[in-house]
Amino acid sequence: MIVRFFSQAWLNAKVHQGGLNMTEFLAYKVGVSVSTLMLYVLIARYTTGLVDLTAWVVGNAFALCVYECIFNIGGTFNAERFSGRLRAIVVSPTSKLAVIMYNGVSSIVVGFITITAAFVVGGLIFGVQFADINIAMFALSILAAAVACVGLGLLLAVFALITDSMYLMLNALALLIIIFSGANFPVSQLPVGAQYIANIFPLYRSVAAANLSIGGSFSPEYWRLLLGEFILGLSFYLAAFLLIKAIERVAVKKATLEMF
Amino acid sequence: MNSSSVLLTSMLVQMKQTFARNMFKFTLFVGPFLTTIILGEMYRHSTADNFVAYVVLGSGLWNLWNCIAFSSAGDINRERFSNTLSIIFSAPADFRLILLGKIFGNTILSLGSFFLSVFFAIILYRPPVIVNSWGLLMLSLILTIAAFIVMSIFIAYLLTLSRKTTIYMNCLEIPFTLICGFAFPIENLPQKLQYIAWLFPPTWAVRLLRHSVTQQAHGFWENFIPLIISTIVFALLAAWLYRIIFRQTKILGTLDMA
Please give the angle made by the CA atoms of B251, B170 and B107, to the nearest 5 degrees: 85
- Within 8 A by CB and 6+ apart from A109, the residues are A13
**How much is the pLDDT for B200?**
94
**How much is the pLDDT for B215?**
62
Nearest C-alpha in B relative to A44? B42
**How much is the pLDDT for B31?**
87
Asked if the structure places residue B244 within a domain, the reply is: yes
User: B84 to each of A89, A147, B5, B95, B188, how far by Cα in Å?
Assistant: 30, 43, 19, 12, 44
Q: Which residues of B touch A (CB under 8 A)?
A: 22-23, 25-26, 30-31, 34-35, 37-39, 41-48, 164, 167, 170-171, 174-175, 177-178, 183-185, 188-190
Sign of CA dihedral B34, B35, B38, B39: negative
Q: Give the integer Cα–Cα distance in Å for A231 and A148.
A: 8
Of A42, A168, A184, the CB nearest to B22: A168
**Element of type H or E holding B117:** helix B95-125
Asked if the structure places residue B241 within a domain, the reply is: yes
- Within 8 A by CB and 6+ apart from A211, the residues are A55, A58, A59
Domains of chain A by residue range? 2-254
Q: Give the integer Cα–Cα distance in Å for A78 and B35.
A: 25
User: B141 to each of A50, B115, B130, how far by Cα in Å?
Assistant: 33, 11, 16
**How much is the pLDDT for B48?**
63
Contact flag B178-A42 (C-beta cutoff 8 Å)? yes
Q: What is the pTM (predicted TM-score) of this model? A: 0.88
Specify which residues A214 forms β-bridges with: A133
> Can you tell me the ipTM of this complex?
0.88
Tell me which of B38, B77, B120, B257 to substitute to probe the interface with A (most A C-beta atoms closer than 10 Å).
B38
**How much is the pLDDT for B8?**
92
Using 70 as the pLDDT threshold, list the residues of chain A that sit under it: 258-260
Q: Give the integer Cα–Cα distance in Å for A17 and A254.
A: 33
Tell me which of A22, A175, A179 to substitute to probe the interface with B (most B C-beta atoms closer than 10 Å).
A175
Asked if the structure places residue B84 within a domain, the reply is: yes
How many residue pairs from chains A and B have C-beta atoms closer than 8 A? 90
Report the domain count for chain B: 1
Query: One digit per residue, pLDDT tens: chain B, 258 residues?
Result: 688 898 999 999 888 888 888 777 888 888 889 999 999 999 887 766 667 778 888 888 888 888 776 676 677 778 877 888 888 888 888 888 998 898 888 888 888 888 888 899 889 888 887 777 888 889 999 999 999 989 888 888 887 777 677 777 778 888 888 999 998 889 889 899 999 999 999 999 999 988 888 766 557 888 899 999 999 999 999 999 888 888 887 787 777 665
Of A39, A46, A47, the CB nearest to B174: A39
Asked if the structure places residue B47 within a domain, the reply is: yes
Q: Give the integer Cα–Cα distance in Å for B91 and B105.
A: 20
Asked if the structure places residue B258 within a domain, the reply is: no
| Structural domain that includes position B169 | 3-252
Q: Give A46→chain B minimum CA distance, Å.
A: 7
**What Rg value do the Cα atoms of chain B yield, rounded?**
19
Of B22, B44, B188, the CB nearest to A189: B44
Phi-psi region of B61 (alpha: psi -120 to 50; beta: other; left: phi over 0): alpha
